[in-house]
Amino acid sequence: MPVPSAISLNVSESQHDLIITRPTTGLSLRGRIRVPGDKSISHRALMLGALAEGETTIEGLLLGEDPRSTAKCFQAMGADISELNTTLVKVQGIGLGQLLEPLDVLDAGNSGTTLRLMLGILASHPGRFFTVTGDSSLRSRPMSRVVNPLRQMGAEIWGRKEASLAPLAVQGQSLRPIHYHSPIASAQVKSCLLLAGLMTEGQTTVTEPALSRDHSERMLKAFGADLTVDLETCSVTVTGPAKLKGQTVIVPGDISSAAFWLVAGAIVPGSDLTIENVGVNPTRTGVLEALEMMGADITQENYREAAGEPIVDLHVRYAGSTSQMPLKACRIAGDLVPRLIDEIPILAVAAAFAEGTTVIQDAAELRVKESDRIAVIANQLNRMGVRVTELSDGMEIIGGETLTGTEVDSHTDHRIAMSLAIAALNASGTTTIQRAEAAAISYPDFVTTLESLVVS
Ligand code: S3P
């Protein structure tokens, strides 16, 4: 890997460690980049493409490990998906209810979205038997949040601890429609049940306590499903049985990946970055609101829409000075949380460079993500000198400490790996991020992009 003059970035021989050494003279990030395709939209495009009749063309698919897991699972059930070696992918759909019984265990890898959404599809395929699993992280994540409502619909699912943990076995059934009041705002729960509802005669409704990301709703409508949304009550109803027709899906850049550069641009002195083609679906833009509260200098340019999703170019400039910290503390809680849930690790990094105490609450969900993101980011940032205190449902971060490079660990969580890399840009000396290869789950080119942006 080339070593630019301003910073040395090394992936160690084991390909597991990312080593970042900040020069004593400092560095800036400058340039125009694109981030890879949105992970949530990529999963859904592959799944709906597989379930639709006819061909679906996906432009801008994320070629990360997670969508690859989705593609493999649906290929094993008969969908014809072109090779994921370019972001232009074609899916020959097999038709709703027509998935084949796979001859082996379906492996969702590290991907909660793959496993939870797929369970709704499998449970509603009468006469087929499926077994599903994932990596050690996914096998420890709660599945009862989808298994319980699916069982209310008549699903037959078995597994450890009352089928709350993968591996799971599913005997597909004709399900009955329900109105499910979800205790959590979760797009995975909502989408799982809507997908089960596609094959179920009658109206399946999901009501959630706050609005979670609505990519499933937008894409299901585009594929021809009969779907109604009531924003007042945060309810969605799908009427089955549905018929889906192949579409062209244009996947915008992932705002969750752009968030790393937004925070880097806001905290690394002298930075000026443009991130083109970023999806700004309002159910995902909590990170922009949080950074605005913190005083970051971010502007949105060239608003347009593609395949039902809003897109902009984001421009971020460092706004600090020698006498002033670049950001100010804020409070992140309530309905804002589901709209920035995946960005909390990188917002914790931003908070380390904000004047005052940033408080993050109502985010207990973070404890059951790819890692316990509250404990992991708090511990790893503590190691670098940040004053973070864990709360049961969030954390408190006191900004303003000087960060020192040291050994930190991603705990195989992609978003933790990248958050720590951004923190390292403002830490003195050398930071070694162990198990940083996890970034490939959602951002395979993260290190190369970082290298391209660093200037001395
Ligand atoms: C996702 C929903 C969110 C998010 C995850 C992707 C999706 O999870 O954290 O990264 O694509 O539906 P929850 O539904 O568990 O909140």
The stretch 165-179 carries a mean pLDDT of 98
Same domain, 303 and 358: yes
Same domain, 207 and 265: no
Closest atom of ligand 1 relative to the 188 alpha carbon: 14
Same domain, 212 and 272: no
Instruction: Residue 374: give its domain's CATH number.
Output: 3.65.10.10
The stretch 116-140 carries a mean pLDDT of 98
434 pLDDT higher than 60: yes
Cβ of 137 below 6 Å from ligand 1: no
C-beta separation of 134 from 115 below 8 A: yes
Cβ of 40 below 6 Å from ligand 1: yes
Cβ of 192 below 6 Å from ligand 1: no
What pLDDT does residue 7 have?
A: 66
Same domain, 233 and 281: no
What pLDDT does residue 14 have?
A: 63
C-beta separation of 336 from 344 below 8 A: no
Separation of CA 59 and ligand 1 centre (Å): 22
Domain count, the chain: 2
Of 250, 270, 289, at which residue does a domain stop?
A: 250
12 pLDDT higher than 70: no
CA distance linking residue 251 with residue 441, whole number of Å: 17
Same domain, 336 and 409: yes
Same domain, 55 and 109: yes
Of 210, 235, 250, at which residue does a domain stop?
A: 250
Cβ of 66 below 6 Å from ligand 1: no
pLDDT tens, 74-115? Answer: 999 999 999 999 999 999 999 999 999 999 999 999 999 999
Separation of CA 410 and ligand 1 centre (Å): 19
What pLDDT does residue 322 have?
A: 82
219 pLDDT higher than 50: yes
Same domain, 23 and 57: no
Separation of CA 113 and ligand 1 centre (Å): 6
Cβ of 342 below 6 Å from ligand 1: yes
Per the annotation, the verdict on 342 as an active-site residue is: yes
For residue 143, the number of C-alpha atoms closer than 13 Å in the C-beta half-sphere is 34
The stretch 35-55 carries a mean pLDDT of 98
Cβ of 113 below 6 Å from ligand 1: yes
Same domain, 276 and 399: yes
Place 156 in a pLDDT band, splitting at 50, 70 and 90: very high
Locate tokens 């400490």: which residue?
401
Of 250, 283, 310, at which residue does a domain stop?
A: 250
**Domain range for residue 144?**
39-250
Residue nearest to atom 9 of ligand 1 (CA): 342
User: Among candidates 360, 424, 428, 366, which has minimal Cα distance to 398?
Assistant: 360
pLDDT tens, 262-277? Answer: 999 999 999 999 999 9
Closest atom of ligand 1 relative to the 256 alpha carbon: 10
Separation of CA 338 and ligand 1 centre (Å): 9
Same domain, 256 and 273: yes
User: Among candidates 215, 216, 172, which has minimal Cα distance to 193?
Assistant: 216
Separation of CA 429 and ligand 1 centre (Å): 35
2 pLDDT higher than 50: no
The pick from 46, 212, 442 for probing ligand 1's pocket by mutation, whose C-beta has the most ligand atoms within 8 angstroms, reads: 212
- Cα 52 versus chain centre, distance: 24
Q: Which one from 38, 107, 342, 445 is the annotated catalytic residue? A: 342
For residue 226, the number of C-alpha atoms closer than 13 Å in the C-beta half-sphere is 12
- What is the arrangement of strands in the sheet containing 8-11, beginning at the earlier edge strand? 8-11, 18-21, 430-434, 407-409
Torsion sign over Cα 415, 134, 61, 86 = positive
Same domain, 311 and 444: yes
Enter the pTM of the model: 0.97
What pLDDT does residue 364 have?
A: 98
What pLDDT does residue 6 have?
A: 53
Q: Is 127 left (phi over 0), alpha (psi -120 to 50) or beta?
A: left
Separation of CA 68 and ligand 1 centre (Å): 17
Residue nearest to atom 16 of ligand 1 (CA): 186
Same domain, 169 and 225: yes
Same domain, 180 and 206: yes
